[in-house]
Amino acid sequence: MLQRKKQRTCRKFTHKSDLFDELPDDLVVSILCKLSSSSSSPSDFINVLLTCKRLNRLGLHPLVLSKAGPKTLAVKARKWSDSAHRFLKLCVYYGNTEACYTLGMILFYCLQKPRSGASLMAKAAIKSYAAALYSLAVIQFNGSGGSKNDKDLRAGVALCARAAFLGHVDALRELGHCLQDGYGVSQNIIHGRRLLVQANALELRLSLNYVVKRCRSEHHHHYHHRVNYRSSLLSDFGCNVAVPEVHPVNMFLKEWFELRVGELGERGLRVCSHEGCGRPETRAHEFRRCSVCGTVNYCSRGCQALDWKLRHKMECGPIERWLQVEEGGGGNDGDGGLEEDVLAIE
Nearest to 55 by CA among 23, 8, 82, 89: 23
Instruction: Give the pLDDT confidence score for residue 331 in this predicted structure.
Output: 41
What pLDDT shows up at residue 23? 86
> Over the stretch 158-168, which tens digit does the pLDDT of each residue have?
999 999 999 99
Per-residue pLDDT at 340: 37
Low-confidence stretches of the chain (pLDDT beneath 50):
2, 13, 220-230, 235-238, 321-322, 328-334, 336-346
Does the CA dihedral 312-179-135-248 come out positive or negative? positive
* Paired residues of 297 in beta bridges: 289
pTM value is 0.80
Quick one: pLDDT at residue 4?
55
Contact 166, 130 (CB under 8 A): yes
Q: CA-CA distance, 97 to 103, in Å (whole number)?
A: 10
| The pLDDT of residue 239 | 52
Euclidean distance between CA atoms 96 and 73, whole angstroms: 10
Q: Residue 2: what pLDDT?
A: 47
- pLDDT of 299 reads 93
